[in-house]
Structure 1
Amino acid sequence: MSVVVIRPLAEVPGLAATLAAWHHAHWGHFYDPSDWSLQAATEELRDHATRRGRPTTLVALEGDAPVGSVSLVDEDAPEFTTVGDAWLASLFVRPECRGRGIGRALVRECVALAAREGVPRLWLFTPEHVDFYAALGWRDLGTATLRGHAVHLMDILPA
């Protein structure tokens, strides 16, 4: 097991399609397929690869291999546009790499990036990982429904 480093997708733009496949396979059911196809996810991440500020994506790398990612976006779901304007989105760690602190490191780096960007309040939604985020300082604001799925809305004040 080697050291995992977190880099902006802008430094490894060739990984956009790989990350899009992960994200779409894992979260596609939360979105209308006409709004968020695999092609749309790939285009979104290729766009993220052009910048280091919001909207952007951070990638966890072990050597040259991607092991996880997280995005900082302006909107994570059309249903929540009135909730907040800065979102931690698409936290994903490859299943065989979970339990090593990679997800925690990605969340912390995303919150730090939001702080550098001057974001006063960062949001996320999660169907099942409330305890994970709460342990990292996120506040559970209750449940909402996203395309028929119950999710928890959470927030944090980046410092």
Structure 2
Amino acid sequence: MDQLEIVRLTVDSPHLARVAAWQNAEWGHLTPGETPTSRLKALRGECGDAGVPSAFAALCDGQPVGTASLVADDMSVRRELSPWLASVFVPPEWRGRGIASRLVQRVEAEVAASGIARLYLFTPDQQALYRRLGWQDHEALNYRGEDVTIMVRRLDAE
């Protein structure tokens, strides 16, 4: 793989439409009524300058090969938990190359630089990846018809 670069997405990024399409295809079932157009609008709202919210893309030769976001709220039934690592996605043909790990670490660095002590995520099937990266199980629940694990990453000195 050539040089992998993790970049902050901006509202005028040429990669937003592709990233929004990935997100809609992967997680649209969790947000009934969402369309590619509404997902793109929401993604633009995640394109902050620093801290929460922020959106990132992994680029290889200038083309997006993965994405991850840092958002204040990613689960309607656990609004007391914040912020969230969200929308970690790498297309199947790019998996197994450490791209997701690099994206997660970039979001963790963003959170740490903001002085935030904890970060949350939920996943139905990637618990092993996140555990390898230092995340711990927080809670198991059924969210919108899917069994998921909420995980926490402590970034303070606990």
TM-score, normalising length from structure 2? 0.92
Task: Give the Cα–Cα distance (whole angstroms) in 1 for the partners of residues 93 and 17 of structure 2.
Answer: 20
Closer, same or farther in 2 for the Cα pair 1:75/1:11, shift >3 Å? closer
Which of 101, 106, 113 is 2:103 aligned to? 106
8 Å CA contact retained: 2:20, 2:43: yes
Could you tell me which runs of 5 or more consecutive residues in structure 1 were left unpaired when the two chains were aligned.
Answer: none
Q: Does residue 87 of structure 1 match 2:50?
A: no
Q: CA deviation at 1:50?
A: 5.0
Shift of 1:77: 2.1
Query: How many correspondences in the alignment?
Result: 156
> Could you report, residue by residue, the CA deviation over 1:30-75 in whole angstroms, capped at 9, with x for unpaired residues?
2232xx3322210122233352331110110001100001000000
CA distance in 1, matches of 2:93, 2:78: 32
Post-superposition offset of 1:11: 8.7
Query: What percent identity do the matched residue pairs reach?
Result: 37
- Give distance in 2, aligned partners of 1:117 and 1:15: 25
> By percentage of residues, which structure has more helix?
1
Partner of 1:128: 125
Once the two structures are TM-superposed, the CA of residue 158 in structure 1 deviates from its matched residue by: 2.1
1:76-127 alpha-carbon deviations (Å, 9 max, x no partner): 1212213x12000000011100000000111111111111112211000000
Q: SS in structure 2 opposite 1:78?
A: coil
Query: In 2, are the aligned partners of 1:123 and 1:154 still within 8 Å (CA)?
Result: yes
Tell me, yes or no, if structure 1 residue 6 matches structure 2 residue 6: yes
Cross-structure match for 1:71? 69
Residue 52 of structure 2 aligns with which residue?
Answer: 54
- Letter of the aligned partner of 1:85 in structure 2? S
Amino acid at match of 2:72: D
Match in the other structure for 1:115: 112
Structure 2, unpaired ranges of 5+: none
CA–CA separation in structure 2 for the residues paired with 1:11 and 1:28: 21
Q: 2:48 touches 2:55 (CA, 8 Å); kept in 1?
A: no
Aligned amino acid, residue 44 of structure 1: A
Match of 1:18 in 2: 18
